[in-house]
Every structure is written in structure tokens, then in C-alpha cells.
Structure 1
Amino acid sequence: MTSIAELPLSIQISKKLEDDIIYGFFLPGTKLDEQELCDRYGASRTPIREALKLLAAEGLVEIRPRRGAIIPTINPLTLCEMFEVMAELEAMCGRLAARRIQPEEKQELQRLHLLCQDYLKQNDSENYYEANRLFHFAIYQASHNAFLIEQASTLHKRLHPYRRLQLRVNNRMNNSFSEHNAILDAIFAGDEQQAEDLLKAHVVIQGQKFTDFISTIESIQPKS
């Protein structure tokens, strides 16, 4: 397997910048200064610009003519629609996982669930998010549908900054873990309908849950 150090510099930088976006160093609405990026990643402008183009193709960065690159913001209606689609994709993954999950995949899902529990006890939202992210990807893999895995993973990546911010909503981390527990039980029991319903409810944001989420986003976005 190729290590990150063996990849072209532009790809190495794109991965580091992607991590910085995912983990909130660069928040939605942030304008990216090329010189600051050069200093941060120890590179010249050419690989920085190439990295920005790679991330723009994935929707994580928006490049505007004569205005440079920014971390895009999404209007509330579009964000709600994206989470609706994400909820449907994850629900399908859960249904298929309940039918197709293999013993070793059950072990991995259980390991990630316990890891989430450890970080919850430590009130460590950063590491909880990472374990949570891997938990969801493990469910995608357990669906054993390559096209579905690709689509769910792509949209999950596009929503990374916002899914991470969800954990800042009051008591969301505790609720997330409780929901994971029920999802795990349904998948392990082979209950396809229950797994589907629980994952859909887990991911979609509506009602008070949506209002709290939007308030959280507005509170952290850079002021123009």
C-alpha cells in the first residue's frame, strides 16, 4: 500500500487540508489565504493551488474567480435536503448490513462502538467524532454494495464539517451513542426494517434538532 509520503505533494496537501476542514480548523465561510496555506503546509503556491482544485472537485472547497478559495457554506434548505438524502443512503446501508454483515465485520463494528463509549466517558468530542465516522463507514462496508458504499461515502465526506458540528449541539454526543447502541442491536439481530428506520432517524435533521443545529452553525461561522 502506498504511504501518504509517497504520494504527489499536491495530494499530500489536499489530505492535510481536508483533515483541517473536517476537524474544524477551517470553518465554513473561511477564506483560504494561499500564503498562509504555504506557511502551514510548507509548500509553494503551485502544489497548494493543485490541492485546492482537488478539494474543489469534491465540494469541500469553492474557488471563486478573482476572489480565491473559501470553505463553502450551505444554505439551510440545501443542507436539510442533503441530510435527507444522506439519511436515506445510510438507512439502505443499515438494511443491507443487517442482512449481509459478516462475523469479522460485527467485531469491527463492536470495537468502534466501544471506542465511541470510551471517548464519550472522557467527554472528548474530537476523538468521538473520528470513531463515530469510522462506525458509520463500517456500516457502509457491511452493506456489501459497492455502488451504495461509494455514494454514501462521497456524500458523507461532503457533509463532514456539518456532521462534526452536530456534536456541539446540546447533549448530542450522548444521544448519538444511545442511537448507535440501538442501531448495533438491530443490525446484529438481523432486523432489516429496524436497522433502516433507526439509521434514518439517526442521520436526518428536522424539527427542533434542525433548529438547534442551524443555531450552532451560525454561532461559529466567521463574521464578514
Structure 2
Amino acid sequence: MGQRRADTIAEELEERIFDGTFSDGDRLDEVRLAQQFGVSRTPLREAFQRLALSGLVELIPRRGAFVRQPGPVELMEMFEVMAELEAVCGRLAGKRISDRALAELNDANAKCHAALEAQNSDAYYVENERFHHILYRESGNSFLQQEACKLHKRLKPFRRQQLRFRGRLAQSMAEHEAVVEALTNGDGEAAAAVLREHVAVQGEKFHTLMASLRSAAE
């Protein structure tokens, strides 16, 4: 229960950072937020730790937690690395993925499709996250899996935000289906190419993300 509570608080704080309730540099008041959420400081501090992993919060000893929005260059660099890590996972999974894991990917996609029909981006993200973690595992390389999971966690609030852009859910769904098709055919190179494009934030996708962060800051 405590773990889920900390996750829920972290997501609520993410929303407040993105919608402009908290601005870059704001100090998060532990006492006030604990009262607002009706919790002790322990789950709140755990939520701060999760936000620190994604770079949205900076924890300064003896001073507290401060909102920190990564700049456009830093964000683009992280997405660039994430796209390449996912591409490698896809390429290796093309040779190593099990039939059971393919069934898991298809199940995640079916649930993603239901969320798309309902236009529920948050429900979509839950299954989207599951989809990607299956791919990391099926790379068959535990070090790669660990690094991909770490960066995935750091970029989570930004990837969730992206799914709210008009038309992005349908586009993401089509890319997921293309990944599964490539892996079913044992074509790791095709899976890698789709995943790289799926994750990369460049061109219009980057400008849209930056515009949403700017509007939140304002």
C-alpha cells in the first residue's frame, strides 16, 4: 500500500509540475503537501525520490526538494540515448524472444488498443510501459535491461505527457503493432528501426513537447 501511495503522489506531483501549479525552482513544502495528501512524510519523501530519478525534482541536503525542469538540450540527449537503447533491445529480441513473450506483447497491445478506444492516455501508458519492459527483458542482456529501465524511469513523466498529444495514441499503437510483427518474423533490424522512430523525439514531436513544457512553466 505504501509503495502504491508513493507512486500515486509522484504522479499527482508530476501533473502539478506539468500544468504549471509548480514552476521551475519552486521548493516543495513537505509539511503542506503531507497535509494535502493526508499522509505522513515517509510516502511523500519516497515520491520525491521517484521524481528525482526522472530529473523533475532536485533533492538538496538540509534544504529540501526543488522542482527542476530539464532544459531542451538535456531532454533531447536523453531521448536520443533512449531511442538507441530501445533499438538495440529490439534487434537482440529479434533473435532471442520467446513465444510466451510474444504472447505477452500481444496481450499488452490488446489492452493498449482498448485504452485507445476509450481515449484513456493514462491506462494506455500503463500497458505501454509493460510492453517496453517486456522488450528490455527479451533482449537477453541483463545489463542492457537494467540501463534501459533506468532511463525509461527517468523519462517516464515526459513519455506520459507525449501520449496526450492529439493523434499520438493511435500513432503509438500502430508502431507497437509493427514492432510485434517484426519480432514475430524474427526481423530484429526492422524491430530496431521501428523502436528508434517510436521513441525518438525529434522534429515536430520535439517542438510539441517543448511547447507543452513552456506553457506549463508560464
TM-score (normalizing by structure 1): 0.83
Matches within 5 A, 1:52-67: 54-55=49-50, 58=53, 59-64=55-60
The separation in 2 between residues aligned to 1:150 and 1:92, in whole angstroms, is 13
Q: Is the 8 A contact 2:10 2:47 kept in 1?
A: no
Identity %: 39
**Which shifted more, 192-201 or 13-22?**
13-22
1:139 maps onto 2:132 in alignment: no
* Contact 1:18–1:60 (8 Å) recurs in 2: no
Whole-angstrom CA distance in 2 between matches of 1:186 and 1:110: 13
Q: Does 1:155 align with 2:151?
A: yes
- Specify the alignment match of 2:108 in structure 1: 112
Secondary structure in 1 matching 2:201: coil
* Aligned position for 1:214: 210
Match of 1:18 among 5, 10, 15: 10
Is the CA contact (8 Å cut-off) linking 2:90 and 2:195 kept in structure 1?
yes
Compared CA separation, residues 176 and 50, structure 1 to 2 (3 A):
closer
1:193 to 185, 189, 192: 189
Residue 165 (structure 1) aligned to one of 161, 174, 181: 161
Q: CA RMSD in A?
A: 2.4
Gaps of 5+ in 2: none
Deviates more, 1:62-71 or 1:169-178: 62-71
* Pairwise CA distance, 1:172: 0.8
Aligned length: 212
Contact 1:168 1:216 in 2 (8 A): no
The aligned counterpart of 1:27 is 18
Tell me how far 1:104 sits from its aligned partner. 1.1
Q: Give CA deviations for 1:53-101 in whole Å, capped at 9, x if unaligned.
A: 6436634521246763234211011101100000000001111111111
Change (3 A) 1:109 1:48: closer
C-alpha distance in structure 1 between counterparts of 2:193 and 2:165, whole Å: 22
Structure-2 residue corresponding to 1:8: none
Contact 2:56/2:70 (8 A) holds in 1: no
Deviations 1:132-153 (A, max 9, x none): 1111111111112111111000
Alpha carbons of 1:159 and 1:36: their partners in 2 closer, same or farther (altered >3 Å)? same
* Structure 1 runs not aligned, ≥5 long: 6-10
